[in-house]
């Protein structure tokens, strides 16, 4: 509805204008109607309840890149955890209580001094949502999906990430059954950072592989 920024002590006897003031954008759109119809059908068939749908939406909304950042920071500070994560990405995350709400696998790809990993989904927008939440819009666009495979070095340069010629770039193509998470290189000069401070440095884009992690000049409060 429109913002009510006028006084409320005037006469309201004439209500003929009420419905006319509702803009077209406030009426249910195509996808709103489709969603309502689908929920009603699922309820009628007793396949899923509205409460279950709302619970799943709440789970999706609770996932942000900060969750993935905690995993990266733990791997940087705990060698045993890092090895477990590289050997079994999903299982290791689940051991920390991170639930995966689908049947997808997770492979964690470690960046090194000689290898830089980049994640893409060439078919659509498959993405490690349990750890990072929703993918960025550019990740879903055809230019990124195509150029990540055809010219990854040039694409990374447009993100401000210059990969030396002697560093191999490996592109991992996500699928409906398998997702990837990049374990970035730990930035130099962070030996005395706490795990919380390290996690604060890790961005979503670094875990996709389009940027590297930089150390802050000032310490992030733990």
What pLDDT was estimated at residue 105?
97
* pLDDT tens digits, one per residue of 125-139: 999 999 999 899 999
Dist CA 127 CA 140 (whole Å):
10
Structure tokens at 90: 């999903």
**Is 93 assigned a catalytic role?**
no
**Is 125 assigned a catalytic role?**
yes
CB atoms within 10 A of CB 96: 11
Q: Strands 168-173, 178-183: parallel, antiparallel or unpaired by DSSP?
A: unpaired
Residue 198 pLDDT class (50, 70, 90 cuts): very high
- If we measure between CA atoms, which residue out of 61, 130, 58, 56 comes closest to residue 97? 130
Which of these is catalytic: 23, 93, 95, 126?
126
Q: Which residues contact 131 (CB under 8 A, 6 or more apart)?
A: 63, 67, 68, 71, 93, 98, 106, 181, 207
Structure tokens at 136: 């960025």
181 compared with 53, residue with greater pLDDT? 181
Which of 24-28, 49-53, 125-129, 198-202 has the largest mean confidence?
A: 198-202
Place of tokens 């193509």: 173
**Is 126 assigned a catalytic role?**
yes
- If we measure between CA atoms, which residue out of 160, 120, 113 comes closest to residue 141? 120
**Is 121 assigned a catalytic role?**
yes
Which of these is catalytic: 23, 93, 125, 176?
125
Full-model pTM = 0.74
Domains of the chain: 26-61 (no CATH), 63-208 (3.90.330.10)
What pLDDT was estimated at residue 30?
74
Which of these is catalytic: 23, 62, 124, 174?
124
Q: Is residue 86 pLDDT above 80, yes or no?
A: yes
């Amino acid at each position: 509805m429109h913002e009510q920024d006028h006084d409320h002590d005037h006469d309201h006897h004439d209500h003929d204008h009420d419905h006319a003031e509702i803009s077209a954008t406030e009426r249910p759109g195509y996808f709103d109607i489709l969603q309502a119809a689908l929920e009603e059908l699922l309820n009628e068939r007793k396949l899923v309840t509205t409460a279950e749908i709302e619970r799943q939406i709440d789970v999706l909304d609770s996932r942000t890149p900060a969750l993935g950042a905690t995993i990266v920071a733990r791997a940087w500070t705990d060698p045993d955890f890092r090895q477990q994560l590289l050997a079994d990405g999903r299982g290791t995350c689940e051991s920390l209580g991170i639930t995966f709400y689908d049947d997808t696998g997770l492979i964690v790809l470690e960046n090194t001094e000689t290898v830089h990993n980049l994640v893409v989904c060439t078919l659509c927008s498959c993405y490690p949502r349990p750890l990072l939440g929703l993918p960025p819009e550019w990740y879903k666009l055809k230019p990124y999906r195509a150029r990540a495979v055809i010219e990854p070095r040039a694409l990374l340069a447009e993100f401000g990430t210059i990969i030396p010629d002697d560093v191999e770039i490996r592109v991992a193509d996500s699928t409906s059954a398998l997702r990837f998470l990049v374990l970035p290189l730990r930035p130099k000069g962070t030996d005395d950072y706490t795990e919380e401070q390290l996690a604060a440095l890790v961005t979503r884009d670094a875990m996709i592989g389009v940027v590297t992690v930089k150390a802050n000049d000032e310490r992030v409060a733990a």
